[in-house]
């Protein structure tokens, strides 16, 4: 069975400086994969490269054993909230319907069946009551749920999510990981950029530690070790560990 995602020698350069260098990675179906690493490690760049949103200096990306635009259409993408223009005058249902355009093509408008499917996706993220609400009027957590519903509307088997837990409250974070687990149990594969080391071992079946290169990848219990974390984060790990300990104490108090 072909991997859901495979990259070989994937290299991306910005302003003559490598952001990713020689990334080799293989991901198989049916798991939630956490993509971790320090700031500037190339995590978001990796997702954009896999989605064909930025050019490669060298190497290749295959989705479901294929390359090019046809393969990319088989993947869903949830961008970082900060990269979205939330002032765009559109309601929540319209945002979710945008996820249907890959299935419809350029010249077909969403029909009744598409609208019903979009409402089903809103129900999955507990946002059907906000279907007519302007997206700018929603909270950060609500906006993130809407973008997850848009990804669900794409009906793909592979999803890339770029920091979906940033800027959301604890209840929304718990709701999102529950949805991701349901998707995984349906055979979907989810690759999630994440920064919180305190929840990584709990949330993900597989981990990829990235710092321009792949430092380690595989089952979470094998990858999430002090040695691998030090290789990925270097001296910054001490500060991260201290912050993580403080957060755990706050949650338990």
Q: What confidence tens digit (pLDDT) does each residue in 205-237 have?
A: 999 999 999 999 999 999 999 899 989 988 666
- Residue 237 covered by a domain: yes
- Residue 183 covered by a domain: no
Please indicate, yes or no, whether residues 91 and 70 belong to a single structural domain of this protein. Answer: no
- Backbone angle region of 214, left / alpha / beta, with phi > 0 → left and psi within -120 to 50 → alpha: beta
Please indicate, yes or no, whether residues 67 and 90 belong to a single structural domain of this protein. Answer: no
pTM here? 0.85
Question: End of a domain among 155, 179, 211?
Answer: 155
At residue 103, the pLDDT reads 64
Please indicate, yes or no, whether residues 119 and 218 belong to a single structural domain of this protein. Answer: no
Alpha-carbon span 170 to 165, nearest angstrom: 9
Which regions of the chain are under pLDDT 50? 239, 243-253
- Residue 19 covered by a domain: yes
Please indicate, yes or no, whether residues 62 and 91 belong to a single structural domain of this protein. Answer: no
Segment 105-117, tens digit of pLDDT: 655 677 788 889 9
Please indicate, yes or no, whether residues 238 and 163 belong to a single structural domain of this protein. Answer: yes
Please indicate, yes or no, whether residues 146 and 114 belong to a single structural domain of this protein. Answer: yes
Please indicate, yes or no, whether residues 209 and 149 belong to a single structural domain of this protein. Answer: no
* CATH number assigned to the domain comprising residue 63: 3.40.50.300
The packing angle between helices 226-233 and 236-252, to 10°, is 120
Please indicate, yes or no, whether residues 45 and 162 belong to a single structural domain of this protein. Answer: yes
At residue 251, the pLDDT reads 41
- Backbone angle region of 167, left / alpha / beta, with phi > 0 → left and psi within -120 to 50 → alpha: left
Number of domains within the chain: 2
Alpha-carbon span 113 to 122, nearest angstrom: 14
Please indicate, yes or no, whether residues 104 and 59 belong to a single structural domain of this protein. Answer: no
Residue 183 sits at the vertex; the CA angle it makes with 181 and 186, to the nearest 5 degrees, is 110
- Residue 243 covered by a domain: yes
- Residue 177 covered by a domain: no
- Residue 3 covered by a domain: yes
At residue 48, the pLDDT reads 94
- Residue 64 covered by a domain: yes
At residue 168, the pLDDT reads 84
Please indicate, yes or no, whether residues 162 and 225 belong to a single structural domain of this protein. Answer: yes
Alpha-carbon span 193 to 108, nearest angstrom: 33
At residue 109, the pLDDT reads 73
- Residue 251 covered by a domain: yes
Alpha-carbon span 128 to 120, nearest angstrom: 8
Please indicate, yes or no, whether residues 166 and 45 belong to a single structural domain of this protein. Answer: yes
Please indicate, yes or no, whether residues 140 and 227 belong to a single structural domain of this protein. Answer: no
- What is the span of the domain harbouring residue 140? 84-155
């Amino acid at each position: 069975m072909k991997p859901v995602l495979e990259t070989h020698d994937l290299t991306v350069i910005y302003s003559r400086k490598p952001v990713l260098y020689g990334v080799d990675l293989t991901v198989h179906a049916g798991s939630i994969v956490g993509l971790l690493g320090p700031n500037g490690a190339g995590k978001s760049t990796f997702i954009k490269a896999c989605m064909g949103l930025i050019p490669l200096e060298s190497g290749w990306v295959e989705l479901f054993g294929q390359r090019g635009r046809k393969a990319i259409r088989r993947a869903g993408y949830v961008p970082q909230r900060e990269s979205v223009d939330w002032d765009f005058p559109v309601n929540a249902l319209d945002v979710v319907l945008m996820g249907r355009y890959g299935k419809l093509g350029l010249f077909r408008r969403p029909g009744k069946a598409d609208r019903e499917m979009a409402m089903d996706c809103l129900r999955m993220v507990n946002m059907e009551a906000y279907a007519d609400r302007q997206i700018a009027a929603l909270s950060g957590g609500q906006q993130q749920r809407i973008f997850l519903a848009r990804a669900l509307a794409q009906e793909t088997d592979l999803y890339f999510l770029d920091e979906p837990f940033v800027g959301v409250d604890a209840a929304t974070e718990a709701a999102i990981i529950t949805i991701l687990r349901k998707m995984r149990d349906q055979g979907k594969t989810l690759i999630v950029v994440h920064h919180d080391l305190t929840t990584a071992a709990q949330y993900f079946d597989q981990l990829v530690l990235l710092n321009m290169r792949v430092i380690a990848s595989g089952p979470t219990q094998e990858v999430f070790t002090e040695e691998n974390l030090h290789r990925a984060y270097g001296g910054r790990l001490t500060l991260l560990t201290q912050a993580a300990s403080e957060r755990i104490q706050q949650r338990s108090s």
